[in-house]
Amino acid sequence: MFEFCTDPTALPDWQWMACYLTTGKHMAFYNAFGTVLLLLAITAPAALALGLAGATAARGRLWPVRAIGRVYISIVRGVPDIAFFLFFVIALDQGFEWLRHQALCPDWDQPIRQGSDFLVCPEAKLPLTTAPEAVHQAYGFFLAVISYAIVFGAFTANVLYGAMNTVPRAQMETAEAYGMTPRQAFWRVMFPQMWVYALPGLSNVWMILIKATPLLFLLGVSDIVYWARELGGAKVAQFSDYPHPDWRAWYFLFLLVFYLAFTAVSERIFARLTRRLSRGQATVAGEALRKGAA
């Protein structure tokens, strides 16, 4: 990075530090923050959409729809995310490849399972073996997004389901009395109001999602915790120009600060949202807002 970095052993402390903190490995560490934020930015809306679908399904009027919604919510919520990532992602990947194999290679005569090997025709591989590494990375990232969305969608669905049931019953009755159809009553009365009840639960799910990102490494995506561990571990002079003892505590301290800052920002946004959504609601917080305005 800097010109004076060619021989780190001879440097004074501050220059050594400057060189150390700008090695390619550290750059990968800094980039990993981008990866994590990108994952969160894609996963959050996906999980919210899945959650909304799950919650409405669980409240559905037709029993098969209701069953699907409830089974999804209770089964996926039941599996710890680590266990889920340790086998589900390989299964998901094999599932995709099997489907492509059926579609693309109808003439393939060899068995797909040979002993413990899983062999599809080369055209069905996802991504293709010849694809550049970036495509492989992107595919791994994509699988991660799907997995996270499925897991956290179930928790979101549960929160939204609870919130829908908490909207004061009298309001729904009033809506019916005004001659609204169930669909109208849902979209005009329940949907706008349920968020204030859902928000504390949603913010908790979000906080837990933020902290589930260290599991990314199980999916082959190198995240900040992986790099922090990797960089913090003791290094000997033989394999690194920057030998140092076990510095993991410092790296984890840095991650702690990052996560706390991220949480603080999230909390401010959620507080604003709560304030915005409490306006005009018949709750203690809504009342406090009304009094404050008066």
Partner 1 sequence: MTCGETFEAYALRAIGIGERLLPQTDFTLCQQFVLIGSGMVWNLYFAVLALSFGFFLAAAVAVARTSHNPLIRKPAEWFVFLFRGSPLFIQFFFAYYLFVLLPREGIDINLGFVEITADTRWLTRAWAGALIVLVLNTAAYSAEIFYGALNSVPKGDVEAADAYGISGWTRFRRIVWPTALRLAWPAYTNEAIFLFHATTLVFFSGFPTRGQQGDALYYANYFADKTFNPFVPYPILAGYFILGTLAIIWGFGRINRHLNRHLPQAVRQPIRFRPNYIR
Partner 2 sequence: MNRLLTATAALAVLAGSALAQDTIRMGTEGAYPPYNFINDAGEIDGFERELGDEMCARAGLTCEWVTNDWDSIIPNLVSGNYDTIIAGMSITDERDEVIDFTQAYMPPDPSTYVGLAGTEIDPTTAVIAAQTGTIQAAHIAAIGGALMEFPTPDDTIAAVRNGEADAVLADSDYLAPIVEASGGELDYVAPDVMLGGGIGMGVRESDTELKATFDAVITEMKEDGTLNPMIVKWFGEDAQVWE
Contacting positions for partner 2 (CB under 8 A): 23-28, 31, 34-35, 86, 90, 93-94, 97, 114-120, 125, 129-130, 132-138, 141, 217-218, 220-222, 229-230, 232-234, 236-243, 246, 248
Instruction: Report whether 281 contacts 196 (CB < 8 A).
Output: yes
Closer residue to partner 2 (CB): 22 or 171: 22
Half-sphere exposure of 96 (CA within 13 A, CB side): 15
* Minimal distance, residue 201 CB to partner 1, in Å: 4
d(CA 229, CA 231): 6
Question: How far does Cα 143 stand from its chain's mean position?
Answer: 11
- Hey, what's the torsion of the CAs at 26, 30, 32, 33, to 10 degrees? 150
d(CA 116, CA 83): 21
Residue 163 interacts with partner 1 (CB under 8 A): yes or no: yes
Closer residue to partner 2 (CB): 182 or 245: 245
**Residue 82's binding partner, choosing from partner 1, partner 2, none, with beta-carbon cut-off 5 to 8 A by kind?**
partner 1
Question: How far does Cα 28 stand from its chain's mean position?
Answer: 20
Closer residue to partner 2 (CB): 21 or 180: 21
Closer residue to partner 2 (CB): 129 or 179: 129
Question: How far does Cα 41 stand from its chain's mean position?
Answer: 8
* Minimal distance, residue 257 CB to partner 1, in Å: 9
- Which parts of 4-63 interact with partner 1 (CB under 8 A)? 61-62
Question: How far does Cα 1 stand from its chain's mean position?
Answer: 33
d(CA 24, CA 3): 15
Closer residue to partner 1 (CB): 127 or 201: 201
- Which parts of 68-97 interact with partner 1 (CB under 8 A)? 74-75, 77-84, 86-87, 90-91
